[in-house]
């Protein structure tokens, strides 16, 4: 564990985690998270643009034509945007040499489930409309966006049109909240307050089933699943969402790589430029994407 990670974890446990637990209004949460994400480092030559699909595309430096990463941002289904994720996604594009398509999906409480999932499906169709085949695309996401990516992966697998590969950073895969780590890591998780998650689930799901595969991919099916990379922290309350997701995927014959990092905050990968662990994890993800898309890895 780097000294930067130790210092950040101490700060988050003392200040950020209690602040998250106190927030009463999801609108305030979304606003504050958006401001906080402005602190995320941006790589040189960052470019954010739109194509006829209306989706946000992000790159930094030269990219390979005809390939894409379809990435869904996190934010507990009530916050976040492609704009706030520009820095980390630009770095991911720079490291992979692949453009990132980052959809802006609708958020609760104004747009509850299944709005976010429907927008994920729409984004996939938009890529197809632009000429990308399933084998041209790797899908990914973090936290709630990681769960969204895996839910989409299930639907694509069941249709027989899976992407080339998928990855997820600390994905939220079980909105039924049955993971043991929710209790075991309650006090040591650096940022996520367990007590707030129930409220978020109510805002997003309402009366829908918490085990609906479109919301909780832990209960989904993945026939013919492509390779999947899961990165998560050992001390996270969502640790078991990833552990059990890996087991579920392997049950369908998928090749799953788990990268578990001790003592890092939830979705530490977006803290590139602040934490050495973030760059190491992004570089590992880049190697996975390049190998999956059969790209030159000597970048």
Answer yes or no: is pLDDT of 226 > 90. Answer: yes
Given a cut of 90, whether residue 39 has pLDDT beyond it is no
At 4 the pLDDT is 85
Span 227-273, pLDDT tens digits = 999 999 999 999 999 999 999 999 999 999 999 999 899 999 999 98
Residue 15 has pLDDT above 80, yes or no: no
Give domain status of residue 299, yes or no. Answer: no
Q: What is the 3-state secondary structure (H, E, C) of the chain?
A: CCHHHHHHHHHHHHHHHHHHHHCCCHHHHHHHHHHHHCCCCCCCCEEEEECCCCCEEEEECCCCCCCEEEEECCCCCCCCCCCCCHHHHHHHHHHHCCEEEECCCCCCCCCCCCHHHHHHHHHHHHHHHCCCCHHHEEEEEECHHHHHHHHHHHHHHHHCCCCCEEEEECCCCCCCCCCCHHHHCCCCCCCCCHHHHHHHHHHHHCCCCCCCCCCCHHHCCCCCCCCEEEEEECCCCCHHHHHHHHHHHHHCCCCEEEEEECCCCCCHHHHCCCCHHHHHHHHHHHHHHHHHCCCCCCC
Joined tokens for residue 219: 């209960």
Of the residues 216, 236, 281, 292, only one is catalytic, namely: 236
Flag whether pLDDT at 18 surpasses 80. no
**Considering its fold, how many domains does the chain have in total?**
1
Q: What percent of the chain has pLDDT over 90?
A: 75
Task: Note whether residue 228 is domain-resident.
Answer: yes
Residue at 297 is within a domain: no
Domain-embedded: residue 18:
yes
Question: Regarding predicted confidence, which is higher, 105 or 3?
Answer: 105
Asked whether residue 103 is domain-assigned, the answer is yes
CATH number at residue 51: 3.40.50.1820
Question: Is residue 81 scored above 70 in pLDDT?
Answer: yes
In a domain, 239, yes or no: yes
Q: Is residue 146 part of a domain?
A: yes
If you average pLDDT over every residue of the chain, what do you get? 91
Give residue for tokens 């996975």.
288
24-28, 239-243, 287-291: least confidently modelled range = 24-28
Residue 149 has pLDDT above 70, yes or no: yes
Q: Across residues 84-102, what is the average pLDDT? A: 95
- Could you confirm whether 266 is annotated as catalytic? yes
202 to each of 78, 183, 198, how far by Cα in Å? 11, 20, 6
At residue 59 the predicted structure's pLDDT band, cuts being 50, 70 and 90, is: very high
How do 137-142 and 68-72 pair as beta strands? parallel
Residue range(s) defining the domain that contains residue 234: 3-292
Query: Active site residue: 81, 86, 126, 143, which one?
Result: 143
pLDDT at 27: 56
pLDDT at 131 > cutoff 70? yes
pLDDT in tens, 165-184: 999 999 999 999 999 999 99
**Is 195 tagged catalytic?**
no
Cβ-based burial of 131 (10 A; exposed 0-12, middle 13-18, buried ≥19): exposed
d(C-alpha 257, C-alpha 269), whole Å: 17
CB 162 within 8 A of CB 98: no
For residue 294, indicate whether it is catalytic: no
Cis bond upstream, residue 37 (ω within 30) = no
Per the domain annotation, does 48 fall within a domain? yes
Of the listed 93, 266, 277, 281, which one is catalytic? 266
pLDDT band for 297, please (50, 70, 90 cuts): low
pLDDT at position 38: 61
């Amino acid at each position: 564990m780097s000294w930067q990670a130790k210092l950040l974890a101490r700060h988050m446990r003392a200040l950020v985690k209690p602040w998250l637990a106190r927030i009463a209004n999801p609108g305030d949460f979304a606003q504050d998270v958006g401001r906080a994400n402005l602190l995320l480092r941006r790589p040189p030559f960052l470019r954010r643009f739109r194509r006829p699909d209306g989706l946000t595309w992000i790159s930094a430096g030269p990219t390979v034509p005809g390939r894409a990463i379809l990435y869904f941002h996190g934010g507990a289904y009530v916050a976040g945007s492609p704009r706030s994720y520009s820095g980390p996604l630009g770095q991911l594009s720079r490291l992979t040499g692949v453009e990132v398509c980052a959809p802006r999906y609708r958020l609760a409480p104004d747009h509850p489930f299944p709005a976010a999932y429907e927008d994920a499906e729409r984004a996939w169709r938009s890529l197809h409309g632009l000429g990308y085949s399933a084998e041209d695309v790797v899908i990914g996401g973090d936290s709630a966006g990681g769960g969204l990516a895996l839910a989409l992966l299930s639907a694509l697998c069941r249709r027989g049109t899976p992407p080339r590969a998928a990855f997820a950073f600390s994905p939220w895969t079980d909105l039924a909240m049955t993971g043991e780590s929710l209790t075991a890591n309650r006090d040591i998780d650096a940022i996520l307050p367990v007590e707030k998650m129930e409220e978020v689930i109510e805002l997003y799901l309402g009366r829908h089933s918490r085990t609906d595969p479109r919301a909780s991919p832990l209960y989904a099916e993945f026939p013919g699943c492509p390779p999947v990379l899961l990165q998560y922290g050992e001390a996270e309350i969502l640790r078991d969402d990833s552990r059990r997701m890996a087991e579920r995927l392997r049950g369908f014959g998928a090749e799953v790589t788990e990268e578990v990092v001790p003592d890092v905050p939830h979705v530490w990968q977006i803290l590139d430029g602040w934490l050495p662990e973030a760059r190491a994890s992004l570089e590992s993800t880049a190697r996975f994407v390049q190998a999956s898309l059969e790209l030159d890895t000597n970048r």
